[in-house]
Amino acid sequence: MNAVPMSASLREVDTLPRPRGALPIIGHMLQLSPPTRHHLVLERWAAELGTPYVFRLGRTPITVWADTELAHTVMRERPHRYRRFERIESILDEVGSNGLFSVEGRAWESQRRLVMQALSINHIKAFYPTLAGITERLRSRWASAARAGRVVNMIDELRLFTVDVTSALVFGEDPNTLEKERDLIQEHVSLLMPMLMFRLNAPFAYWHYVRFPRDRRFDHAIAEVHRYVRGLMARARERLRAEAARVGKSAAQDGEAEPPRNLIEAMLIQRDAPGSGITDDEVAANILTMLVAGEDTTAMAIAWGLLYLGSDQALQTRVAAHARGVLGDASVCPSYAAMRELDLCEAVCTEASRLHAVAPYLSFEPLEEVRLNGVRLPAGTKMFFLNRPGMIDARHFADPSRYDPDRWLHDNRETKGTHDGRAYMQFGAGPRVCPGRHLAVVEMRLVMSMLAANFESTLMIDPADVHEVCTFATGPNAIPMRLKLRDVGRVTH
């Protein structure tokens, strides 16, 4: 735990270095504006002050750390010694979204088992044909844009794709947002993350007393998404009833009924079991969590990969040859087994999100007094662990400022010098490592291989004008691309 002997001198939180310019009541809040860029300010302060340091959000002191090993230590001791910020759980609970991401204690343990079942490798392998079908839908959409000469807003496209994937896998229904001109649920979902981030950074819960227009828009979006989720639950229950009737009560009791096919069914079966103690509200909260969490993070990881693919012709040619070698004559990777060969496609996205952290920091607080690196942290002390400093540290990665996807290919790691994969913290670590990491990797491989094999892509913006925007997940402000149908016969195998 990097503790110090009891006899050693301990530092207190209020003696740590701090940025200048704190104001009464609001602390350093003005210096963290705009909220979409606040992670860059935290990183700049870390470079200037070293870590740990402390800043104030309102009257609340927040300690900031950039020690990879210490982060692993803390994450190994979740959820019993550390938790996420209590405020995260309370704010998500207010809007009916206190699911696996934010819930703590015993509730987390039971919900974790359900979500891991839905996102297991075996489940995703069985789901692969549907996933490939959604990817083909995206290819068809991009082919139409290429024939029309339209510039494509890749961030919006990727969000539609990930909403369809998450809905089909976790909820058992495909909303097909990719083939609709306007999808209201996706529009409502897109409002949630920015507003939740805004409320988390507010100096006090002003919305308890007054609702501004943005709050009313948020309220409406939450209400519509909850209505959508309750509809999903009702339809899933009807499917379960129909299945029970088909199999017959006695056969179901003998274990002959089919296992749950998605997260909703698994949760409803457990919720409806006698004495489960699970409520419909808890089921709905996890459905909403998966819908929101499944959209932005994976979409942004792929978008950062496209920044480099669309601005480096040599890399694009290489990825196209690699993808076509796996896909053969298919427009989309034809099987789960073949998908596992698309290492370079994953590496393009992984390396991009090493330099542009999709999760810029992790937030924790101890449940009891702890002593870390000679600092005494009372229970409830707020802690930010910055991810990017460790990912661009020469102690962890050779030539760390250079974009080099080869560093993630197993055959090249020994010749690439220092490579400490544990410093790549985008999926977290420890017992609460992201349960959706395997699904995210499959999506990266499918989309990147489909794009490179079928299209020539050109970034229609100066890469220097692409900057980071943080709304829970951190993505690029824009990735406009012009696509051209590739002459498949000319792709070098």
pLDDT digits (tens, 9 = 90+) for 11-34: 999 999 999 999 998 899 999 988
- Average of pLDDT values for 92-99? 80
- Per-residue pLDDT for 214 more than 50? yes
Quick one: tokens of 231? 């509809």
Q: Where do the domains of the chain lie? A: 11-490
Which amino acid type is present at position 212?
A: F
pLDDT digits (tens, 9 = 90+) for 105-136: 766 766 676 677 667 788 888 889 999 999 99
Separate counts of helices (H) and strands (E) for the chain: 16, 13
Predicted TM-score (pTM) of this structure: 0.87
User: Percent of the chain having pLDDT more than 70?
Assistant: 90
Residue 417 DSSP SS3? coil
H-assigned helices in 149-212: 154-166, 184-200
* Non-local CB neighbours of 462 within 8 Å, separated by 6+ positions: none
How is residue 340 written in tokens? 């596992």
Residue pLDDT, tens place only, 319-371: 999 999 999 999 999 999 999 999 999 999 999 999 999 999 999 999 999 99
* Preceding amide of 334 cis, omega within 30: no
Of 484, 481, 475, nearest to 302 by C-alpha is 475
Give the whole-angstrom CA distance, residue 123 versus residue 136. 20
User: Count of CB atoms within 10 A of residue 78's CB?
Assistant: 20
Distance CA 418, CA 271 (A): 48
Assess whether pLDDT exceeds 80 at residue 281: yes
Q: Tell me, what's the pLDDT at 272?
A: 82
Name the pLDDT band for 428 (thresholds 50, 70, 90): confident
| Residue 159 Cα distances to 57, 65, 156, angstroms | 31, 31, 5
163, 186 in Cβ contact below 8 A? Answer: yes
* Class of residue 27 by CB neighbours under 10 A (exposed 0-12, middle 13-18, buried 19+): buried
Burial (CB < 10 A; 0-12, 13-18, 19+), residue 252, is middle
Residue predicted with more confidence, 296 or 375: 375
User: pLDDT higher for 318 or 297?
Assistant: 318
pLDDT in the model for residue 6: 46
**Domain 11-490 grouped into CATH 3.40.50.720:** no
Q: Which of 403, 268, 365, 483 is nearest to 13 (CA)?
A: 365
| CA-wise closest residue to 387 among 26, 106, 40, 137 | 40
Q: How far apart are CA 268 and CA 232, in angstroms?
A: 11
Higher pLDDT, 260 or 127: 127
Residue whose pair of structure tokens reads 């017992």 in the numeric block? 431
Task: Report whether 434 belongs to an annotated binding site.
Answer: yes
Q: What's the rounded mean pLDDT across residues 185-210?
A: 82
Residue closest to 263 by CA, chosen among 119, 165, 134, 162: 119
